[in-house]
Structure formats: structure tokens, C-alpha cells
A and B are shown apart, each in its own frame.
Chain A
Amino acid sequence: MKNEAFNDRNVSSDGYFKVDIAEYPTDGWAKFTRVVRRTFRAELFVGLWVVLREMLKFDIHTIQYPLEKMPIGPRYRAVHEMKRLWESDAERCIGCGLCEKICISNCIKMDTKIDEHSRKEVSEYTINLGRCIFCGYCAEVCPELAITHGGEYENCSEQREHFIDYTGMLTPLEMMANGTQKEFEGFGAITPHEDESVKKTPLSY
């Protein structure tokens, strides 16, 4: 491949041309006549005619949001979800604090404590969606695939506090009973056939 076309950095020739712009009016009368001209030219009806024509065709490609919604790709990074374990319905989050550490907009906060079985328990967990930039680092860093992004992109509320509700993110138990919890395929997800590369620990029994 030859590079001459790229090496020619003289943009003034070869296909570039100046846009033809009329002189700007300088005095008051000229300005007035321009306003009148623009107002009574029937340009508006050109647009209206296009809309009317398309409407009469009854073959519209527009999505009727909010009645209709586009399917969202599995890797889309919308509002977070907290997943449960398939085998026990327990929350997957172990409270390691990595998402809190990696969060670049400092919107994740958590508090942990020791529970009655001497295990680490997450006692409080919030994501301030008002600050979140949906970068996906938290989902990527999570060692348990506990925090992921979901497809829920509609956030609106009158209160900022509504953006930090933990129970809204956690998979409901009914979903677990129906087996309809969806695994996330985006950042941090297990690559297909990961299990084939796992080496087992030697056991003497």
C-alpha cells in the first residue's frame, strides 16, 4: 500500500471547498428583511409533509417507547444486581470489600461484621446510583460473581435516596425458586469452558 495519499497533508486542495455562506446583514433594515423572509418561506411545511406521508404509510420503524423496548445486550452495564447462590439461595457477596475499593466514583459503601457462625456477614451495602458512572469495575473485580450489571436502565426518582436501595438489587427469592436468575455475561464473567482448565487439588482420600 502506498502512503502518498496519507502523506499529503495539504487540506486546502483536493476535494475541500469553502461553504457558500451569504454575507451577514449589517444594518437594521437588512436584518428585518431577513427575518421576514425566513418567516414566510414555507420551509416548515416540508417537514410536516414528511411526517404526514410516513404516518399514512402504516409501516413505521420507530420503537414505541415506553410501550415497546429494545432488547438489551447481555453485556450492557445498567443498574447493578446482587446475585444469589444457586445451591443455597444465600447471597453470594462475601464482603471482601474489593468493589468498594475499586469504585472510582466512591459510590459503593459497605459494612461487615462477624455472624453467629463465625463467618463474615455483610450487614449494610449501598451503591449510590446518583454518583455511579457504570464503569463496570465492581463487577469485574468481584471474586464471587456476586455484584453484576443488569439490563435495568430506567432510573428516575424524586429522591436521591431511592438510588441506594439494596433490596432492589438483590435477586428476589421467587426468582431463585423459579430458577430465573440470569448470569451476567459481561465484565468478570466466567469465560466459556473455564471448568476444563481447572486443576483439582490432590486429596488422599
Chain B
Amino acid sequence: MSKIVNFTIDGVSVEAQKGETILQVARKNDIYIPTMCYISKTTPCASCRMCVVEAQGLEGFVLSCNTPPTEGIEITTNSNDLEHERTNIMKLYDVNHPLECGVCDKSGECDLQNKTLEFNVGQQSFAAKDIPRKIENWGMINYDPALCILCEKCVHVCNEVIGDDAIDIKFGGYSSTIIPKNSETLDCTYCGECIAVCPVGALISSDFQYTANAWELSRVPATCVHCSGGCSLEYEVKDAGIYGDKTIYRVKNNFEYTSLCGAGRFGFDFDNKASKNEADLNKAIKAIRSAKAIRFSSMITNEEAYILEEFKEKFGMKLFNEDARLFASFMDAYSSISGKKHHSGSLDAIKLCEAAIVIGSRIATDNPALRYALTTASKHNGAKIVYAHPLEDVLMKNTASQLMKYEAGAEEGVIALLANGIVKKADLDEDEKEFFDSLDLGYLGAESNIGEEEISQMIQSFSRAKNHVLIIGSDIMAHPRARNIAKIVALIEKYSAFSVVVVPSQVNTLGVSLINSLDIDEDMVDNVVGYNAKGNFVISSLEFANLSIPSLNQQEGTFVSIDNRVLPTNVALDFEGYTLNDIASVCAIKHKNTIDCTKLLSQKSGFKALNFDELENFLSAHGDDNRGYLLDEVDCKMDGKLENIEDLAEFNGTVIYHSNPVLQFNAYTNKTSQLERDTSLRGSAQFAQVAKISDGETIEISFGSTTIQRTFKLDEDLKGTIALNPTFDIAVDSSKYRFEKSKIVRVTNE
């Protein structure tokens, strides 16, 4: 029941939705109230007290940022008393603030500077004895306590949006500072969100510090290319040094409403360099003409995917992309029950949910955007979040309210148990009833290690919640029983309040799965052209390419994000060499520009016939998403039949789980200069015991047909006999289930 409150601000009659504060209503109606510490995506910090307003009939001032209006109240945002109060606050903020604006990295984009000028604070009239304050270096982040105004924005985003909860305020009056929480130095996922929200230059990227001024940098609106979150960002570009080429200096985001993980923020220098060499181009054309197949990765734009599809039509070759094929197959099975082509949930739905289940993904590293959405839901709506995975994740500790630890390989059983708990009592049809009746709950519970009380605890904690979301991770795409799992997921959605979000594993897995008709990868070696993937002729934006093509920050085009939103990205850096379109035009597939394909994308898959240039890429001043467009809903035939659950697979011994460390996703993040590259196999003490290895040892890991060498690192946060194997530095077959049995041998240096 939404209740509307009518009241007036400065004589203008306005209305507030239930739960809105005076400040929010004022901003919606374009009435200006100055703030220093307010940030829309967190709960009000209420530390600056700049947002004070007068309410008729009340003595003293009211904080507009955290006060909801009452019916008929008359609010005044401007008076001599308020002006005096605010000016005094600004005078206090300016006490002993270093006069180094000339070198400060904010270089004019400073809230403090703006407000100081706004309130005309021309001189310092208060005095305080200054104290020595040491500049802290926290790895990728530098902190200058002398510049800090203690607005607490950084602390609030770290805790409420990111979920790291890594920084805190050390209270001490004038000597208050920001400190790493419960630690000597900063120990966090280095998302850099604190840098983004800092209104002054106190928290700053150590790589960027003192290298450029804001006015020199030209902003390129783009979309992050590291995971499927599709976060909006702006590359800031300028000529390097005094003779250099255009270089990306930093990445910024609209921090008022959106967040960015560290890979997006610090991992921007993955551009490719090449020059035009006609001999190479001719070789590439020859290779494509004689190719039996093109194998490609999902790190491409929709337009490239479309051109590849045209190659298939023209030359009759096969297209291999296991990652997208498995996703498409999962979604196909899902559609056959749900009747809809696209999953129903989105990141915004997660932010607003009150109950969520995450299954089959180490989500904090697989898709940080989704983790931040979950954190927001948990902190702001008190959402109950069930994190179901064979491995505990310390990063989800602050967010997840219930850990459901199941055995690796048992996803089908777990989903069946969840479905049984959630929709058993719904109005099912015969086949579905039969499916649930045939479930051997005892067997499933025992084999998957999920107790009956865990399910009932979950059901109970969800009972009062509105807006449920079920999040399906990429473990399940490659599960042998993925299609049946998809059908059960669709069943849950059909008969309950749950919306479903399926997490695509790479930036454009979803787009590729909609555009391309993919074939099963037969692991062919000869006559295969690799497009950002392996093959006997490689066209790639990575190293070791026979023909170089531009990286994703050197291309314009669109991606489809986890929200089913088609997002445009723009060229941040120039590329001298050839693009896929150049190859295509020689092969008589004529497009003037690659982006001419944007309007050609299939409307049967939900794309709209819009030109690239018609797509916007911005958030409005009130945070409305105006980026690209949402895919149209497409109805599908509902002819799917549930299959009975097969026996669950067992994984014993030394099992490895393909999972990247924080901030690493793929070969592109691996190429960047700032992101840490931890290639070690991380496992628990128990794993070390089973594998007979110890911390720091070089080991040889064999799984499937692959053998690699890594260092073993003991991780105290892990438990059990599953170790984490990074995949960003090696190409792992994405058709395989992410848990794999492995053989581990210690390498002796003799």
C-alpha cells in the first residue's frame, strides 16, 4: 500500500511517496538544498548537517536528508538563519584545509571548493592547532588525512553497497581520520568506490595521483567489458606525456547511483596495438575462406557476433563458442517451461528484493555488480540472502544470511529440493505433481548434504518477504544436467513470487547466445579460425595473434548485460589495424561501419531495429537508467517436459574449482598493469593435507587433458577439499563443469 504525503517546500506543493525523505522530494522537484555528505545510494550519513531546513511550527532546524515529511507541513529551504548556519558549517570545514588546490587531483571537481565559493567563505575565522597527519599508502589507494573532511561517504558505500566493510572512522574530534577496519593496512577487494565518492582529494588512486587534471581529460562514455554486469563507466583519455599517444588515465562512474568493481575502475589498459599490414589481412581472408569453423569467445560486441553469423551463412562454416552455446541451451530449456525467452530479473530487481537465493556461483568474484546489488538489498531492505554453494566465500560473509553448503555436482538435487520447498503446495499440473512425487527427498538430501531443516529455515525466513529473486550462476550452465535444472528453475518462477536472474559468465555471453546459432565444439584443430580464441589461425586482440584486432575499449558496439539491456560502448582509444568488418568487406559482406549491424540484430530475439547512434548512454540526474534499451520480451513455445532427477555425481579427493581471484576475470584483466595477478592455487589446510602439499610449494595440477604448474597458497578462509584454480591466465575449456577432479603432484627442483 503506497501512501502519498502532500506538503510544501518553499511554497511549492509537492508529494512524497512512503519512505521518501524531504531531501529526496526536493531533489525530485528540482529544489536545491546543499549537502556535503549525502549520497543517493546509501542511507544518509547525516554528518555534514548542511541539508538543514526549517519546518513551520517546529523550533530549530530539521535534517532534510533523513526526515520524512508529515502531511501538510511547510518546509523552508532558505532563510537568513539557514544561510548563517550553513556558512558556519563551511567555515568549519575549511579550518586548516590545505591550500593545495593547485596540485590537488580534484582539480576543480571538488565539492568543498564549490560550496566554499557558494557560501563565500573567503577567509578563515576559526582557529585550531594543526596536527601532523601522515599520508597513507594503501596499495592502489592513497589517503591524505589532511584533505579529508570526514563526510563518511566512503565508509557508507564500503559497508552498505560494496559489502567489504573495510574502512572505519577513528573518532577523535579534530584528529578524526579514516582507518582500515580491524587491520593495520587496507584489506579489501579494492573496488575503489571510496575513491569515486570522495568529495575532496583525500582518497585517490595511487596510479592516477598527480598525473593529470580533470579538465585535460576527455570523457568517453562506455560500458565495462570485464563481466556481464554491464556497469556504466567513463574512460578518461588524454595524450600521454608531452609527445605520447592517447592513453586512458582513469575510469570514472556515476557514483551517485551506480557502482564499479576494481577491475572496471583500475583494469582499463588492455588496449591492443597494431598497424595495417596487407599481407596479414590476406592471410586472414584466406584462412577464413578455407576454414571449417570459427571458434570465438564471448568477449566481443553484438555487431561482431552478427558479422560472424554472416560468415557462417555465406561460407557454411561452423561457429564454436561453448560458453554461449551452453548458456543458450540453458535458456532454451528455461523458455520451454516459462514461455519467455529472457530471464525475468535484473540487478535493479535484486537491489529491491527482500529475499534472494544465489546458487552455483562464487558470485563475489564472478560478477561483482551482482554482489553489490545483493549487499544493497541486504543492508537497505534487510533482505534474506541464501548463498548456496559448495564453497564458503568470506566476501559474502557480511551479505549472506544463510549459507547452504552442498556437495559439488549436486546442483540438480539442490534445485529440486528448493523447488520442492517453495512450490510443492502450489497449483501444479499433473506432470509437475508427478515430478515432485517421484523425488526421493531422502536420497537427494543425503547426497547433496542439504538438510530438511535448512530448507525449512529458508522458507521461514522468506515468508514475510516481498520481491524474491533466484540467481543462477555459471556453474550450472556447464552442469551435465543443466537443461533439466533450467526447467526446474522455470517451474519455481512459474509457481512462486521468484523472478530469475541467470548470470552470463562473460561480458557478452548473453548477446552471443541470442545472435549466433552455435555448433557443438568438436575440438577440431585444423582449419579453425580462432576469433579471440584458440585456432590454427588466430585473429585476436590479445597477444600471439596472426591478425590483430581492436580490444573492446577500442571499438564501438553493443553488449547485452545481465539485465537483458543492450548497452552501447564507444571508442576510447584509436586502433590503427584492421577490424572484423574490414575482413568481412573483402569477403563481400558489406557494411560501411561495424555499427551498421546494430539495427540488423534479430528482432526475433528481442532486439530493436535501432541505429547505434540512437542509443543513449547516460543516467539522468535522478538516476533513471537511459543506457541503450531493454530487450523486448519474446514468447516461446511451452513444450518442455520435466525429467526425473538422475543420480547425483560425486566429487572426491582433490577437487579444483575454476574460480578467479578478486578483480581478475580473463585474459584482458590479466593484461592490465594495476590489477594484482595471483595465479596461485588457493586451498584450505584440509586440501593441503589430502593433496600432501604445503604452503608456497610449486605443484603440477592435472585435470582433463590439461597440466599446469602453479604455486600452492594456503588460504585460511577456505574449508574442505576443494581448491580454487584461477582461469584468467590460462584458457580453460568453458564447456566443462567448473568443479573438476584433479591430480596434484609436488614439483621437486632436482
Residues of chain A touching chain B, judged by Cβ–Cβ distance below 8 Å, are: 94-98, 100-101, 109-114, 118-121, 123-126, 143-144, 199, 201-205
- How many Å lie between the Cα of A112 and that of B240 in the bound state? 10
Q: How far is the CB of B679 from chain A (nearest CB, A)?
A: 29
Size class of the B contact interface (CB-based, 8 Å): 20 to 34
Report chain B residues within 8 Å CB of A126: 242
Q: Contacts A101-B216, A118-B142 given: A96-B102 contact, CB under 8 Å?
A: yes
- How many Å lie between the Cα of A125 and that of B241 in the bound state? 9
Partner of A203, one of B129, B137, B215: B129
Interface residues of B in 130-172 (CB under 8 A from A): 135, 137, 142, 144
B124 engages A201 (CB within 8 Å)? yes
Which of the candidate stretches B206-214, B634-642, B692-700 sits at the interface with the other chain?
B206-214
Q: Contacts A109-B242, A114-B209 given: A120-B129 contact, CB under 8 Å?
A: no
B128 engages A96 (CB within 8 Å)? no
Q: Mark B258-281, 1 if CB is under 8 A from A, else 0.
A: 000000000000000000000000
A204 engages B103 (CB within 8 Å)? no
A204 engages B127 (CB within 8 Å)? yes
Q: How far is the CB of B685 from chain A (nearest CB, A)?
A: 40
24 contacts between A and B (CB under 8 A): A94-B103, A96-B103, A97-B107, A97-B216, A101-B215, A101-B216, A111-B211, A111-B241, A112-B210, A112-B212, A113-B210, A113-B211, A114-B206, A114-B209, A114-B210, A118-B144, A120-B103, A121-B210, A123-B241, A126-B242, A143-B102, A201-B124, A203-B127, A204-B128
B129 engages A112 (CB within 8 Å)? no
Secondary structure at the B interface, as helix, strand, loop or mixed, is: loop
Report chain A residues within 8 Å CB of B127: 201-204
Known: A95-B210, A96-B103; 18 extra A-B contacts, CB below 8 A, are A95-B103, A96-B102, A96-B213, A97-B213, A97-B215, A97-B216, A98-B102, A101-B216, A111-B240, A112-B212, A114-B209, A118-B137, A119-B103, A199-B123, A201-B124, A203-B127, A204-B127, A204-B128
Q: Mark B206-229, 1 if CB is under 8 A from A, else 0.
A: 100111110110000000000000
Task: Confirm or deny: B125 has a beta carbon within 8 angstroms of a beta carbon on chain A.
Answer: yes
Which B-chain residue is minimally distant from A143 (CB atoms)? B102
Task: Confirm or deny: B126 has a beta carbon within 8 angstroms of a beta carbon on chain A.
Answer: yes
- How many Å lie between the Cα of A110 and that of B244 in the bound state? 11
Report chain B residues within 8 Å CB of A121: 210
Q: How far is the CB of B226 from chain A (nearest CB, A)?
A: 26
Report chain B residues within 8 Å CB of A144: 102
Report chain A residues within 8 Å CB of B212: 112
Report chain B residues within 8 Å CB of A98: 102
- How many Å lie between the Cα of A143 and that of B100 in the bound state? 11
Q: How far is the CB of A89 from chain B (nearest CB, A)?
A: 20
B103 engages A205 (CB within 8 Å)? no
Interface centre among B126, B206, B210 (most CB of A within 10 A): B210
Question: How many A-B contacts are there with CB distance less than 8 Å?
Answer: 61
Q: How far is the CB of B244 from chain A (nearest CB, A)?
A: 8
Report chain B residues within 8 Å CB of A120: 103, 210
Q: How far is the CB of B201 from chain A (nearest CB, A)?
A: 11
Which B-chain residue is minimally distant from A110 (CB atoms)? B242
- How many Å lie between the Cα of A76 and that of B128 in the bound state? 45
Which B-chain residue is minimally distant from A166 (CB atoms)? B242
- How many Å lie between the Cα of A199 and that of B102 in the bound state? 20
- How many Å lie between the Cα of A120 and that of B104 in the bound state? 9
- How many Å lie between the Cα of A96 and that of B214 in the bound state? 11
- How many Å lie between the Cα of A144 and that of B126 in the bound state? 26
Q: How far is the CB of B204 from chain A (nearest CB, A)?
A: 10
Residues of chain B touching chain A, judged by Cβ–Cβ distance below 8 Å, are: 102-103, 107, 123-129, 135, 137, 142, 144, 206, 209-213, 215-216, 240-242
- How many Å lie between the Cα of A106 and that of B137 in the bound state? 35
Interface centre among B103, B215, B216 (most CB of A within 10 A): B103
B210 engages A205 (CB within 8 Å)? no
Q: How far is the CB of B283 from chain A (nearest CB, A)?
A: 39
Q: Contacts A95-B103, A101-B216, A124-B242 given: A204-B210 contact, CB under 8 Å?
A: no
Which A-chain residue is minimally distant from B124 (CB atoms)? A201
Report chain A residues within 8 Å CB of B210: 95, 112-114, 119-121
Which 3 pairs from chain A and chain B are nearest by CB? Answer: A96-B102, A202-B127, A109-B242
Report chain B residues within 8 Å CB of A96: 102-103, 213
- How many Å lie between the Cα of A120 and that of B216 in the bound state? 16
B129 engages A204 (CB within 8 Å)? yes
B211 engages A202 (CB within 8 Å)? no
- How many Å lie between the Cα of A37 and that of B697 in the bound state? 107
A112 engages B211 (CB within 8 Å)? yes
Which A-chain residue is minimally distant from B213 (CB atoms)? A97
Report chain A residues within 8 Å CB of B128: 204
Report chain A residues within 8 Å CB of B137: 118
Q: How far is the CB of A26 from chain B (nearest CB, A)?
A: 62
Which A-chain residue is minimally distant from B144 (CB atoms)? A118
Report chain A residues within 8 Å CB of B215: 97, 101
- How many Å lie between the Cα of A199 and that of B127 in the bound state? 14
Partner of A118, one of B125, B135, B242: B135
Report chain B residues within 8 Å CB of A114: 206, 209-211
Q: How far is the CB of A117 from chain B (nearest CB, A)?
A: 9
Q: How far is the CB of B241 from chain A (nearest CB, A)?
A: 4
Which B-chain residue is minimally distant from A202 (CB atoms)? B127
Which A-chain residue is minimally distant from B243 (CB atoms)? A109
- How many Å lie between the Cα of A96 and that of B103 in the bound state? 5
Which A-chain residue is minimally distant from B125 (CB atoms)? A202
Which B-chain residue is minimally distant from A121 (CB atoms)? B210
- How many Å lie between the Cα of A118 and that of B216 in the bound state? 22
Report chain A residues within 8 Å CB of B107: 97
Which B-chain residue is minimally distant from A118 (CB atoms)? B135
Partner of A202, one of B126, B209, B216: B126
A202 engages B124 (CB within 8 Å)? yes
Q: How far is the CB of B665 from chain A (nearest CB, A)?
A: 28
Which A-chain residue is minimally distant from B242 (CB atoms)? A109
- How many Å lie between the Cα of A47 and that of B396 in the bound state? 98
Report chain B residues within 8 Å CB of A118: 135, 137, 142, 144
- How many Å lie between the Cα of A203 and that of B144 in the bound state? 22
Which B-chain residue is minimally distant from A125 (CB atoms)? B242
Q: How far is the CB of A96 from chain B (nearest CB, A)?
A: 4
Report chain B residues within 8 Å CB of A95: 103, 210
- How many Å lie between the Cα of A126 and that of B243 in the bound state? 10
B129 engages A205 (CB within 8 Å)? yes
- How many Å lie between the Cα of A82 and that of B102 in the bound state? 17
Report chain B residues within 8 Å CB of A203: 127, 129
- How many Å lie between the Cα of A97 and that of B107 in the bound state? 10
Report chain A residues within 8 Å CB of B211: 111-114
- How many Å lie between the Cα of A199 and that of B209 in the bound state? 32
Q: How far is the CB of B123 from chain A (nearest CB, A)?
A: 6
Report chain B residues within 8 Å CB of A202: 124-127
Report chain A residues within 8 Å CB of B242: 109-111, 124-126
Report chain A residues within 8 Å CB of B206: 114
Report chain B residues within 8 Å CB of A94: 102-103
Which B-chain residue is minimally distant from A109 (CB atoms)? B242
Report chain B residues within 8 Å CB of A124: 241-242
Q: How far is the CB of B99 from chain A (nearest CB, A)?
A: 10
Q: How far is the CB of B342 from chain A (nearest CB, A)?
A: 47
- How many Å lie between the Cα of A112 and that of B211 in the bound state? 5
Interface centre among B209, B241, B242 (most CB of A within 10 A): B242
Report chain A residues within 8 Å CB of B124: 201-202
Report chain A residues within 8 Å CB of B144: 118
- How many Å lie between the Cα of A33 and that of B212 in the bound state? 73
Which A-chain residue is minimally distant from B134 (CB atoms)? A118
Q: How far is the CB of B141 from chain A (nearest CB, A)?
A: 13
- How many Å lie between the Cα of A109 and that of B244 in the bound state? 11
- How many Å lie between the Cα of A203 and that of B128 in the bound state? 7
Q: How far is the CB of A100 from chain B (nearest CB, A)?
A: 8
- How many Å lie between the Cα of A109 and that of B240 in the bound state? 10
- How many Å lie between the Cα of A120 and that of B124 in the bound state? 26
Q: How far is the CB of B227 from chain A (nearest CB, A)?
A: 30
- How many Å lie between the Cα of A203 and that of B129 in the bound state? 7
Report chain B residues within 8 Å CB of A110: 242
